[in-house]
Amino acid sequence: MLEEEDYPGAIQLCLECQKAASTFKHYSCISELNSKLQDTLEQIEEQLDVALSKICKNFDINHYTKVQQAYRLLGKTQTAMDQLHMHFTQAIHNTVFQVVLGYVELCAGNTDTKFQKLQYKDLCTHVTPDSYIPCLADLCKALWEVMLSYYRTMEWHEKHDNEDTTSASEGSNMMGTEETNFDRGYIKKKLEHGLTRIWQDVQLKVKTYLLGTDLSIFKYDDFIFVLDIISRLMQVGEEFCGSKSEVLQESIRKQSVNYFKNYHRTRLDELRMFLENETWELCPVKSNFSILQLHEFKFMEQSRSPSVSPSKQPASTSSKTVTLFEQYCSGGNPFEIQANHKDEETEDVLASNGYESDEQEKSAYQEYDSDSDVPEELKRDYVDEQTGDAPVKSSVVFLLSISRETLKSRKKSDYSLNKVNAPILTNTTLNVIRLVGKYMQMMNILKPIAFDVIHFMSQLFDYYLYAIYTFFGRNDSLESTGLGLSSSRLRTTLNRIQESLIDLEVSADPTATLTAAEERKEKVPSPHLSHLVVLTSGDTLYGLAERVVATESLVFLAEQFEFLQPHLDAVMPAVKKPFLQQFYSQTVSTASELRKPIYWIVAGKAIDYEQMLLLMANVKWDVKEIMSQHNIYVDALLKEFEQFNRKLNDVSKRVRIPLPVSNILWEHCIRLANRTIVEGYANVKKCSNEGRALMQLDFQQFLMKLEKLTDIRPIPDKEFVETYIKAYYLTENDMERWIKEHREYSTKQLTNLVNVCLGSHINKKARQKLLAAIDDIDRPKR
């Protein structure tokens, strides 16, 4: 019976024999038999305990039913439950040790007993990086089997306890019913208490394994896979006993922050390299391009728990959530998951002349691999020592060569892209967006490090914005214009980025404190514009195409961050949400503000304002009769605008110029022209009433012709010129009030009005009074 695992039958037979033997125990031979029967019963109990331990790894309902019936016959159901919990604890310990030992011995290439003598904690440190993930997966699979067995044990008791209650209520033995109820209550309490204990054991064993290896050397995809496994395990814990898995969360948080700091530092350095080699050519994506089409953002389309592997998400037609225990109760294992490889499906985001897919990138690299002007150090294959990532060579050389050769190799027909509203972005922009997707994957899987990830993500945007400003918008003379080209918000943002992120030191200071050295480690050197980008040629409108691609790619990047804000907000801890709000309100929203200073530099050089001042200086303004013909400087200025318009059209054949950009350029040029006109009038030494009328005629002629060239309405700074001309007609008393009201004019322009306009009509004292009023405006307030 024991060989056939009929434990209840064996015990029943033994008990019957004992009963019969006790009847005839006064016979000496029967008394000896009774003693042997007792020994046999104890042997049965030992074998029964072994049978009980077997259900810890592979629960079998028939087997467990027999074991429970046997213990009930012995009247030891409570003892059985105590023993069962000891077996489960031992099973967890033995299981994890054997799994890890198997991998350590396999990788060591021998079965030396030295590993078997190690403590589990020490054994975990011998797992090699290559075997770390398969070992972790097998560890979780084995622990799942133990927990599933416990879950099914509880299920068995719930079902059979209900049956016992029904049969007890039908019986008449009150004493037996009370005893059964007591046993059942004890078992239920013991099983419920055991849930937390078993899960705590599982957490501690996995924590020890997790912290036994430095994960900062792992590739990104491998690390994400580790997170996915642990996240799945935490989901198991929550369904198993309602635990939030604090032990696991803290250990994986430590590993994640450590990993992510190293990963982010490398990515920032890589971003600087990309920016410094970027030639600001269009990356030709389709007009319907969306970041959700990129592999890195596929996880956002999955309507799933963050911890469930996308490829293994169960299709459920029912609205009721199915737990993992219900789903895998009859077979399978939730840890039978594979890493999501990018080749599962192909992206389709590039226009027909794009190079971005893997095969296209490969062929593009082969085609341009012989570039003689690619620095030698960038041609060498090397693996990132910190992350173990794939060679950077192809990415960098590809970036350099494509940027350099795109314009040479494309046919004119390829520029049809510019006629549609395809996003303006570069290879580097796409690289940053992909990085953001990777950061979000990590955050989505492990929410406890959400703040750290979002903080690092904001640094990617900060550095990109700072680079665009440094390359194309930095100009110390801009602020002296008084036109508010850089808002105080933008200036504050740029200063903050420079102080917190940019390493301005050339070399490390040997006298610096440890804290200062640590701070410098967190910073990145300021990027430098590639020498291949030429911003000094008038024929290309001073690199307008490159400026448009760079600036509008930043605006596009800001739009993507705006799109992602709700997703970031959802995972950001409540106490850290002010950081996120501040990042969006003070940094992301300033991206479009960079257009003003960047395009102002083009506008400042596109029209020859100095030549116009020279032409105006040659005009005689103290004429005696009203003229019917405007002055030559107006025609010269309009000719400059026509030439600017032609060049603008030429640039737009290379790069689509969005309407806001075109409007800003025209607005800047017109504003500068109008201010130059006022400056020219302020240089006038003598002016008659007829001369003032000539000024108005010139300006009206300029406006009339200008309105045919541009759709901008109203004409910027039109009132600035007209108000200045009208001021020539003011009386002495009106002039003082006018000076105080019009602070937008320079001291020189106001002084000229007093000297030329009023001239000899006022006495010296009155003139001094007006000049003092001008001086008072110019003097800074205390």
Contact call for residues 762 and 725 (beta carbons, < 8 A): no
Q: Predicted confidence band at 57 (pLDDT cuts at 50, 70, 90)? A: confident
Is the backbone of residue 725 left (phi > 0), alpha (psi -120 to 50) or beta?
alpha
The CA–CA distances, whole Å, from 252 to 209, 213, 223, 234, 256 equal 11, 12, 11, 11, 6
pLDDT tens column, 135-146: 999 999 999 999
pLDDT tens column, 84-132: 999 999 999 999 999 999 999 888 877 667 788 889 999 999 999 999 9
Per-residue pLDDT, averaged over 154-163, amounts to 80
Q: Say how far apart CA 243 and CA 199 lie, in whole Å.
A: 8
Is the backbone of residue 305 left (phi > 0), alpha (psi -120 to 50) or beta?
beta
Contacts of 20 (CB under 8 A, 6+ apart): none
Q: Predicted confidence band at 342 (pLDDT cuts at 50, 70, 90)? A: very low
**CA quadruple 631, 636, 642, 646: dihedral, nearest 10:** 170
pLDDT at 401: 44
Furthest-apart CA pair in the chain: how many Å? 157
Contact call for residues 721 and 745 (beta carbons, < 8 A): no
Q: Say how far apart CA 544 and CA 510 lie, in whole Å.
A: 43
Q: Say how far apart CA 224 and CA 230 lie, in whole Å.
A: 10
pTM of the model: 0.73
Per-residue pLDDT, averaged over 404-414, amounts to 41
Per-residue pLDDT, averaged over 407-429, amounts to 61
Assess whether pLDDT exceeds 70 at residue 164. no
pLDDT tens column, 177-191: 555 666 778 888 888
Dihedral of alpha carbons 208, 211, 217, 218, sign? positive
Q: Say how far apart CA 671 and CA 737 lie, in whole Å.
A: 26
Query: Residue 535: helix, strand or coil by DSSP?
Result: coil
Per-residue pLDDT, averaged over 340-355, amounts to 54
> Structure tokens of 552?
């509008």
pLDDT at 249: 87
Q: Predicted confidence band at 357 (pLDDT cuts at 50, 70, 90)? A: very low
Contact call for residues 557 and 464 (beta carbons, < 8 A): yes
Beta bridge partners of 285: 350
Burial of 710 (0-12, 13-18, 19+ CB in 10 A): middle
Per-residue pLDDT, averaged over 8-37, amounts to 81
Q: Which residue has the higher pLDDT, 383 or 22?
A: 22
Burial of 171 (0-12, 13-18, 19+ CB in 10 A): exposed
Of the ranges 138-147, 418-427, 749-758, the best mean pLDDT one:
138-147
For helices 450-468 and 488-500, what crossing angle results, to 10°? Answer: 110
Q: Predicted confidence band at 645 (pLDDT cuts at 50, 70, 90)? A: very high
